[in-house]
């Protein structure tokens, strides 16, 4: 009985010591990947449903392959939440390279139309946008990269003449 307890304690100790070594596999000194919203393409715009294609660019600044598991995103235009969602699509970005990701979304902007009209009244004025979310990376063990990008768009540049 006492031998069994000692063996269990030894096994537990070895397990904890072994897991401590796993933490050394990941170094925090590597620069994190960057995600940019490059383009928003209108696929179809009806009164109660709008379909867009979001074009993202994922930059890998490291000397190793970057495996991307998923992208969780929230896009705000001014104070209005335009869309949020998660795109689970595995792909690999080569060392010191960029990869492009197209994310189809479907939304209903009808409840927010008054606020959008206020923002678009002066099409030459810049409108702030915000991209937030998480990029899930890693082949075996997940690593989460928090995203926070701010910028401005000018509505007049998006409206075809």
pLDDT at 35 (0 to 100): 92
Rounded CA gap, 72 and 51, in Å?
Answer: 18
Rounded CA gap, 122 and 92, in Å?
Answer: 41
Neighbours of 52 (CB within 10 A): 20
Instruction: Assess whether pLDDT exceeds 60 at residue 22.
Output: no
Rounded CA gap, 137 and 70, in Å?
Answer: 7
Tokens (6 digits) for 72? 């969780």
- Using H for helix, E for strand and C for coil, what is the string for the chain? CHHHHHHHHHHHHHHHHHHHHHHHHCCCCCCCCEEEEEEEEEEEECCCCEEEEEEEEEECCCCCCEEEEEEEEEEEECCEEEEEEEECCCEEECCCCEEEEEEEEEECCHHHHHHHHHHHCCCCCEEEEEEEEEEEECCCCCEEEEEEEEEEEEHHHHCCC
pLDDT at 152 (0 to 100): 86
Rounded CA gap, 54 and 117, in Å?
Answer: 22
Rounded CA gap, 42 and 88, in Å?
Answer: 21
Q: Could you tell me the pLDDT band of residue 159, with boundaries at 50, 70 and 90?
A: low
- The string of pLDDT tens digits covering residues 23-81 is 545 555 778 999 998 888 889 988 889 898 989 999 999 999 999 999 999 999 888 89
Mean predicted confidence (pLDDT) in 95-122: 89
- The string of pLDDT tens digits covering residues 139-152 is 888 899 999 999 88
């Amino acid at each position: 009985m006492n031998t069994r307890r000692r063996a269990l304690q030894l096994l537990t100790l070895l397990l904890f010591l072994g897991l401590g070594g796993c933490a050394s596999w990941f170094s925090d000194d590597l620069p994190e990947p960057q995600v940019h919203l490059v383009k928003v393409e209108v696929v179809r715009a009806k009164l109660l449903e709008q379909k867009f294609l979001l074009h993202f660019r994922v930059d890998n600044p490291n000397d190793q392959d970057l495996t991307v598991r998923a992208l969780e995103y929230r896009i705000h235009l001014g104070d209005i939440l335009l869309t949020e969602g998660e795109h689970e699509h595995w792909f690999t970005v080569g060392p010191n390279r960029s990869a492009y990701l197209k994310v189809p979304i479907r939304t209903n902007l009808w409840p927010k139309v008054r606020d959008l009209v206020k923002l678009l009244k002066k099409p030459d004025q810049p409108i702030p946008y915000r991209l937030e979310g998480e990029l899930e990376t890693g082949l075996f063990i997940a690593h989460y990269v928090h995203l926070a990008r701010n910028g401005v768009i000018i509505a007049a540049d998006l409206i075809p003449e």
